[in-house]
Amino acid sequence: MATLDEITQRFRTAVGADSGLGKTLKFNLKGDGCILIDGGEVNNEDKPADLTMTISKDDLEAMGAGKLDPTTAVMTGKLQLSDMGLAMGLQSKMTALFSKLA
């Protein structure tokens, strides 16, 4: 099981100079901290974001490894989204980002 710092570093590597999302994205890790992606910046600040995804650290790792399908995670309550419409619009960009995490 990776630490918050390790997961954050993986996202920094995957994001590179720019996430390509065009929106701010925050992963609220249910008491284990958060990861905020804003353009090419990735940090652990708990600031407002265009889209907040609430998920456990373990489930985020499973999604990043391709072991947990995002749609299944939403349907089973493992993943909550602050804006379903925005999440649907960013789905292909987020899929590309997650593919770089593995």
Number of domains within the chain: 1
Q: CATH number, domain at 35?
A: 3.30.1050.10
Q: Report pLDDT digits (tens) over 78-88.
A: 999 999 999 99
Does 17 reside within a domain? yes
- By residue range, what is the domain housing residue 84? 4-93
Which pTM does this prediction carry? Answer: 0.93
* Residue recorded with tokens 């960009």: 93
Q: Report pLDDT digits (tens) over 12-52.
A: 999 999 999 999 999 999 999 999 999 999 999 999 999 99
Band of the pLDDT at 102, cuts 50, 70, 90?
low
User: Is the confidence at residue 96, as pLDDT, over 80?
Assistant: yes
User: Is the confidence at residue 98, as pLDDT, over 90?
Assistant: no
Does 55 reside within a domain? yes
Task: State residue 64's pLDDT score.
Answer: 87
Does 70 reside within a domain? yes
- Angstrom distance (rounded) from CA 24 to CA 41: 10
Does 100 reside within a domain? no
Task: State residue 18's pLDDT score.
Answer: 93
Q: Are strands 51-55 and 25-28 parallel, antiparallel or unpaired?
A: parallel
Band of the pLDDT at 90, cuts 50, 70, 90?
very high
Three-state DSSP state, 71: helix
Does 71 reside within a domain? yes
Burial 45-82 (b: 16+ CB within 10 A, else e): eeeebebbbebbbebbbbbbeeebebeebbeeebbebe
